[in-house]
A and B are shown apart, each in its own frame.
Chain A
C-alpha cells in the first residue's frame, strides 16, 4: 500500500474562504501531483512538482496555488473558494526510472479530498 495521505477527506465551506488541502507522502518520492476530478469524469492535472522548490501548472487551468518546501509535503491552496471549485482533489506522488530512451513512472494516489463550496 502507498503511504500518501490527504486531509481533510471532506470539506464544506462558504464562498470567499481561504482553504488549504494537505498532502503528504512518506515514500521519499520527488515528483508529486494534484488532480481535479468531477463525479464520473476524467482526472485533470492541475499542478505538479519535480521536487523541493519546483512547482508547475498542469493542463487544466486552476485558480489554486501550490508550494513544495519539503519533499514529503505538497499543499494546495485556494485563496477565495467559489462554488465552481466544488470537486474532488486527488494528490499523487511517483517513483520513476529511466531505461534507455524510455521513462517509466508509477503514480501512487491518496484517498482524495471532496470539496463542497456553498
Chain B
C-alpha cells in the first residue's frame, strides 16, 4: 500500500506557482520523500527528493514540514507542459527501499 496521500486532481493557472501537497504521516526517520511526474503515460520523470531539509533544483522546490509528516512540491512558474500526474513517494524501509507508487495528483495547468 502507498504510504502517502495526495489529492486526486488540482488546477493551476499558467505562470502561477503550483503547490502540490502530500501527507506521509507514517514516515520513518530514515525514509526519503521523492517526487516524480508522468506526462501523457510516458515513463515517469524524477523531479526531486529530500529527507528533512527543504530542497531546490532547476525543476522545483520541496518543502518538508518539521515533523516530516507532510511535504509540498512547488513548481514556481507553471507552464502548460507541466500538466502531468505527480507522484509523491516514500521509499519503504520495510520493503528494501522499493518505491511504492500511488495514484498521484493529476495537475492541470490552464491558460
- The judgment on whether A and B are partners is yes
Which A residues lie at the B interface, using CB under 8 A?
Answer: 35, 37, 39, 41-45, 48, 58-59, 88, 90, 92, 96, 100-112
- Determine which of B2, B42, B97 lies in contact with A105 in the assembled complex, contact meaning CB atoms within 8 Å: B97
Write 16 A-B pairs (CB below 8 A) sorted by A numbering.
A37-B41, A42-B102, A59-B98, A90-B44, A100-B30, A101-B29, A101-B30, A102-B30, A102-B32, A103-B30, A103-B91, A103-B97, A104-B32, A104-B91, A107-B44, A107-B46
- Determine which of B2, B31, B34 lies in contact with A102 in the assembled complex, contact meaning CB atoms within 8 Å: B31
- Determine which of B30, B31, B44, B91 lies in contact with A109 in the assembled complex, contact meaning CB atoms within 8 Å: B44
B49 in the interface, Cβ–Cβ < 8 Å? yes
Near A by CB (< 8 A), chain B positions 73-110 give: 91, 93, 97-99, 101-104
Known contacts A45-B98, A105-B91: A88-B41 contact under CB 8 Å: yes
Whether B91 and A106, one on each chain, are in contact in the complex, defined by CB atoms closer than 8 angstroms, is no
**Closest Cβ neighbor of A35 among chain B residues:** B101
**Main SS of chain A's interface residues?**
strand
Tell me the count of chain B residues lying within 8 A, CB to CB, of chain A. 24
Whether A42 and B103, one on each chain, are in contact in the complex, defined by CB atoms closer than 8 angstroms, is yes
Which B residues lie at the A interface, using CB under 8 A?
Answer: 2, 29-32, 34, 36, 41-46, 49, 51, 91, 93, 97-99, 101-104
Q: Chain B residues near A101 (CB, 8 Å)?
A: 29-30
Whether B43 and A90, one on each chain, are in contact in the complex, defined by CB atoms closer than 8 angstroms, is yes
**Closest Cβ neighbor of B45 among chain A residues:** A109
How close is B88's CB to chain A, nearest CB, in angstroms?
Answer: 13
